[in-house]
Amino acid sequence: MTTISAPGKVHLIGEHSVVYGKPAIIAAVGLRCHVDAEKSDNVIIESADFGNAEYGLEEIFEIEKKVADLWKKGNSTNNFSALFEYVKTDKTMPLLISAGVALKKAGSKGGIKLKIKSEIPIGSGMGSSSAIAVTISKAAAEIYGREFSKEEINSTAFEIEKINHGNPSGGDNSACCYGGFIWFQKKQPKNIITPFMANAPEIFDKFLLLNVGRPVKTTGELVQAVRDLPEGFRIPRLLTLEKLTHEMKEALGKKDTNGVKDAINDAQQMLSELGVSTDKIDKIASDVRNLGGAAKLCGAGGGGTVLCFHENSEELKKLLKKTGFAYWDAELGAEGVRIERL
Ligand code: MEV
C-alpha cells in the first residue's frame, strides 16, 4: 500500500481577483489530506467525509467522460449548473471523478482502492478539494508506476478541480502540490507559479487559522456571484486587490509587519464589499483589527477559514477563544505533496 499526503492552503492575499488574472500569494498550511492507495480491479472509495463506494472501472471512465462533456458545455455557456447538479447526485462523486481523471492520466488498465483521511475542514477555504485532487493524482501515478513530475501531478489535479469548481484559477491545487509559499498568476499559455521566498519567519509564525463553519455556498457559486456583480463595481475592487497583493509582497520582503497587516485588513474590506464575507467574519476581522492585528477570510469565503495575525499570539488566541470556534497555528509554508509510505 502507498500513502500520499498533501497540505491544505490559505491565500495570504489575492483570492477572487486571482480568477481574473491578478496575482495571489498562497501558502501551504500544516493540516494535511492523507490517502492510502493500492491497486484493485474496481474503484473503491473509503472516506469518513464522503462515504464509501465501489464502482467498476468502465463505469468510472463513463462518469469521467460524462463530467468532461458537462464541463465543456458549461464552459461554452459560462454556466456550470448542470455539471454541479450531476456532481451532487452522489456524496462520493467528487472522489469517484478524481479517481477517474487520475487513472486516465496515469494510463491505467486497472482500478484503485483509496482510503482518504483529511484533517482539512471541507469547503472552508483551506483547499480541501485541491488537497484531495493532488493526493489522488499522485497516488494513481505512483501505484501504476508513472514517474510524473510535480508539474504533471498539478495539471491532473487542475483537471479534477475544473470539474469541482467550473473555472478555477488553479492557484489552490498549485499551492497544495508545490507547498511552501507561491506567487501565483493565471496566464496563457502557462500559469506563473513562482516559489515565494518566505524569509520572514517572525511574521509567518504568528498566523492563526480560525474556522467559523462550512459556508452555505460552494466555491463555484461564490465565484459566480462575484462575476455577476456590475463591472463598474467589481473591477475597481479587483484592481485594489491586485495593488494590495503587490504591497503585501513588498512588505514581506522588507519584514514590514505594519505593511503586511494593512494589506490583510484592506483585502478583507475589498472582499467584504465584493459580497463574499459574512457578518460573523466582518465582526471577527474588526475585533482582531481593534486589537492591533489583521484578519481576512480565506478562499471563496461565505464562511470557512479566517486568517488572523497579531504580533502577540497569546492576546490573539485569547480573543479567538472567545469566539467559540476552533483555531490552529497556521504552520504556513508546509511541504507540498509527498510520499509518506511506498
Ligand atoms: C478559492 O480557494 C480561491 C478563489 O480565488 C477561486 C480560485 O482561485 O479558483 C475564490
Nearest atom within ligand 1 for CA of residue 222: 10
Place of cell 479517481: 99
For position 201, what pLDDT does the model report?
84
Residue 328 has pLDDT above 90, yes or no: yes
| pLDDT above 90 coverage of the chain, percent | 93
For position 14, what pLDDT does the model report?
98
For CA atoms 118, 119, 123, 128, the dihedral sign is negative
Nearest atom within ligand 1 for CA of residue 130: 2
Q: How confident is the model at residue 202 (pLDDT cuts 50, 70, 90)?
A: confident
Rounded to whole angstroms, the Cα distance separating 35 from 300 reads 25
Q: Which residue minimizes the CA distance to atom 3 of ligand 1?
A: 299
Nearest atom within ligand 1 for CA of residue 186: 8
For position 251, what pLDDT does the model report?
95
Rounded to whole angstroms, the Cα distance separating 244 from 172 reads 19
For position 187, what pLDDT does the model report?
95
The number of C-alpha atoms within 13 Å of 270 and in the hemisphere containing its C-beta is 24
Q: Which residue minimizes the CA distance to atom 1 of ligand 1?
A: 299
For a mutational test of ligand 1's pocket, the pick from 10, 13, 15, 217, i.e. the residue with the most ligand atoms closer than 8 A to its C-beta, is 15
Q: How many CB atoms lie within 10 A of CB 65?
A: 12
- Residues near 307 by beta carbon (within 8 Å), at least 6 away in sequence: 10, 11, 12, 207, 208, 209, 264, 295, 296, 297, 298, 330
Amino acid identity for residue 218 in this structure: T
CA dist list (Å): 333 to 180, 207, 301: 4, 11, 21
Mean pLDDT score across all residues of the chain: 96
**pLDDT, mean of residues 66-80:** 94
From ligand 1's centre to the CA of 217, what distance in Å? 13
Q: Pocket residues for ligand 1 (CB within 6 Å)?
A: 15-16, 18-19, 125, 168-169, 171-172, 219, 223, 299-300
From ligand 1's centre to the CA of 59, what distance in Å? 30
From ligand 1's centre to the CA of 139, what distance in Å? 24
**pLDDT, mean of residues 158-166:** 94
**pLDDT, mean of residues 201-226:** 92
- Secondary structure class of 3 (helix, strand, coil): strand
The radius of gyration of the chain's CA atoms, rounded to the nearest angstrom, is 19
**pLDDT, mean of residues 176-199:** 93
Please indicate, yes or no, whether the overall pTM of this predicted structure exceeds 0.85. yes
Dump pLDDT digits (tens) for 8-38.
999 999 999 999 999 999 999 999 999 999 9
Of residues 84 and 230, the one with the higher pLDDT is 230
Q: How confident is the model at residue 220 (pLDDT cuts 50, 70, 90)?
A: confident
Q: Which of 61-65, 116-120, 163-167, 262-266 has the lowest mean pLDDT?
A: 163-167
For position 196, what pLDDT does the model report?
85
Residue 259 has pLDDT above 80, yes or no: yes
For position 197, what pLDDT does the model report?
76
| Contact in structure between 121 and 209 (CB atoms under 8 Å) | no
Dump pLDDT digits (tens) for 305-320.
999 999 999 999 999 9
Residue 40 has pLDDT above 90, yes or no: yes
